[in-house]
Copies of this chain bind each other. A is one copy, B any other.
């Protein structure tokens, strides 16, 4: 028998922890609830198992929740020892939670254990798989508490400032602040700052707490580099418990440009800080899960950890539960990224079981999306919708081109997923074909040689976004690609992208066109620019034309800009994908290509993870050596192709 684990209805762990996560935001001392409706766990679950006891014995059911067992139809309370005779048995365990949590059970005996072989229902006719995680294996474990790792960290510098002390932990971090030796009669004001300026700016610091009455404080985890404590600070000890997931880095990158190593490390650190229950947008402000941001994190993940569990957790959390009454995160595009992401996840991992699990919900979500299209089957603005795409001036006065290209890609994903699920995907394919013809007819502007934002306004405004999608998703032919490259990407008159979020998509387009040097330059100027200003993690936004604390302003808040934002981790993907050059050519990297491209680097060494094993590439002095930790690889180098053998270094 396998090791005993706590089990629960698959998906409920994510739904519950998403609910908790999205209810934790605070700003200026007030709780800040999430701006969309959230799913909740099913209160009741019946866990089912038929099993053969090898000998007489007994077992005890531990439960999170209340309920009872029925062994061969005979009722037992949970928590008592239940005798079993040798032979076949049928067990139902009915558990209910009324406190917002989700039912879990645990059995560890010689005759029976809880593990993934169980099935369950949420008290309907439909049967579902259970989930069981390796983190929850002992009777004391509680799946209602997400398990993190902790490390004590101490401030590098303490300076008295005005009526308090400023503690500098040396770099951006996230953790539980620990204050010891406080005077229980004194009141302490604590200000958190990603920047020194924020921590010291009492009225404007986003995150703060006032405490009193205790000698020691163990505060809830928050983001900070600086902590400013005001009050009776004599003898106070301030440390923190850094809270993190021990995700293994399976990638590396370094090159002759020394700065790149630091940029890489900062991107990796930024990504770790945002890889928690799910992929967060940033660790200070929202700490929410946004489907568009997460879409980029799935990509970074595949080039750093290749950890499927956190991607699955994020998708399940974003997907929530039907009925769908609003878009994912309220944003039309974010619904579509989620559907596209499920197919891309499958392509990268071959994880059919996961597709099976999400399929019913995904299909209902697609139905919601499609039901809100207009009579031409264009994505349009309906009550409650947020047509986002990017923080960028764009002609949003009518149906937006970028939304339609995403919709086309979504239909293609639905077609492919349908076929995977043994359903007929032809309707989606036919609709995608029709949609593409319409988009080309309505949005392609021959005069401008580009897609316009919106055809109904007559403004014929061109922005980069739809044109980038057209390249990314192979929506157009070579001629149009060339036209977009010249008339949009390389055209300085077209408003430049201002967010690292869409900058990443733009760089992907450059990468697809083989323009690695543009990517390399951008990494040095943009990411390097943040480092030059003292950034220890990648910012949500960076405009080199701003000065001083102007950089920290966003959303009309003096320190509204997140200084540790997941979407800043793009170089992990960009360098792995386009410089080391590894990418799959079949499901789950059954076959893959290694197309190294030094670009402007004279030398580089990079490692990129495969589902199993890694690809290691070293390039120096015109010599390339490549080692792949799995079969199926083809090296493409200077126009030639070489078959890679597992664990055999090929030098060319």
Interface residues of A (CB under 8 A from B): 19-20, 23, 27-38, 40-44, 66-68, 75-78, 94-101, 122-126, 322-323, 325-326, 383-384
Main SS of chain A's interface residues?
Answer: loop
CA distance A27 to B31 in the complex (A): 42
25 contacts between A and B (CB under 8 A): A20-B98, A30-B78, A31-B67, A32-B67, A32-B68, A32-B75, A33-B44, A33-B67, A33-B96, A33-B123, A34-B123, A35-B123, A36-B123, A37-B124, A38-B42, A38-B123, A40-B42, A40-B43, A98-B100, A99-B100, A100-B101, A125-B383, A126-B325, A126-B384, A323-B323
User: Which B-chain residue is minimally distant from A46 (CB atoms)?
Assistant: B33
Which residues on B sit within 8 Å (CB–CB) of A67? 30-33
Contacts of A33 in B (CB 8 A): 44, 66-68, 94-96, 123
Number of copies: 2
Q: From residue A156, how far is it (CB to closest CB) to chain B in Å?
A: 33
Contact A384 B122 (CB under 8 A): no
Residues of B within 8 A of A99 (CB): 99-100
Q: Is the CB of B37 within 8 A of A96?
A: no
CB <8 Å contact, A37 and B29: no
Residues of B within 8 A of A97 (CB): 100
Q: Which of B35, B36, B77, B326 contacts A31 (CB 8 A)?
A: B77
Which residues of the partner chain B approach A35 to less than 8 Å between Cβ atoms? 123
Complexed CA–CA distance, A230 and B44 (Å): 34
A98 near B19 with CB under 8 A, answer yes
Q: How far is the CA of A32 from the CA of B123 in the complex (A)?
A: 13
| A25 nearest CB across to chain B (Å) | 10
Which residues from chain B contact A123 at a C-beta distance below 8 Å? Answer: 33-38, 326
- Minimal Cβ-Cβ distance residue in B for A385: B125
Most B C-beta atoms less than 10 A away, residue of A35, A44, A75: A44
Pick the contact of A44: B28, B38, B124 (CB < 8 A).
B38
Q: Which residues of B contact A20 (CB under 8 A)?
A: 98
Q: Distance (Å) between the CB of A199 and the closest chain B CB?
A: 21
Given known contacts A77-B31, A126-B325, A98 and B37 CB-to-CB distance under 8 angstroms: no
Bound CA–CA A41/B322 (angstroms) = 14
Give the top 4 A-B pairs by smallest Cβ distance, nearest first: A125-B384, A100-B100, A30-B77, A30-B68
Taking CB atoms, residues of chain B closer than 8 Å to A41 are 40
Kindly report which residue of chain B lies nearest to residue A126, judged by CB atoms.
Answer: B325
Set of chain B residues within 8 Å of A42, measured between Cβ atoms? 37-38, 40
A43-B23 in contact (CB<8A): yes
Which of A34, A97, A100, A322 has most chain B Cβ within 10 Å?
A100
A43 near B38: Cβ-Cβ < 8 Å: yes
Q: Which residues of B contact A94 (CB under 8 A)?
A: 32-33
Looking at A37, A97, A322, A323, the one whose CB has the most chain B CB atoms below 10 A away is A37
Q: Known A95-B33, A323-B322; judge A124-B40 contact (CB<8 A).
A: no
Q: How far is the CA of A303 from the CA of B77 in the complex (A)?
A: 42
Distance (whole angstroms) from the CB of A118 to the closest CB of chain B: 17
Min CB distance A439 to B, Å, is 27
Q: Please measure, in the bound complex, the distance between the C-alpha atom of A323 and the C-alpha atom of B99, giving whole angstroms.
A: 21
CA distance A41 to B326 in the complex (A): 17
Q: Which residues of B contact A96 (CB under 8 A)?
A: 23, 31, 33-34
A326 contacts B30, C-beta separation under 8 Å: no
Contact A37 B44 (CB under 8 A): yes
Are A40's CB and B40's CB within 8 A? yes
CB nearest neighbor in B for A42: B37
* Bound CA–CA A77/B76 (angstroms): 47
**Hey, which chain B residues are within 8 Å of A23, CB to CB?**
43, 66, 96, 98
Query: Which residues on B sit within 8 Å (CB–CB) of A122?
Result: 37
Known contacts A44-B38, A97-B100, A325-B124; is-contact A31 B383 (Cβ 8 Å)? no
A609 to chain B, nearest CB (A): 35
Contacts of A75 in B (CB 8 A): 27-28, 30, 32
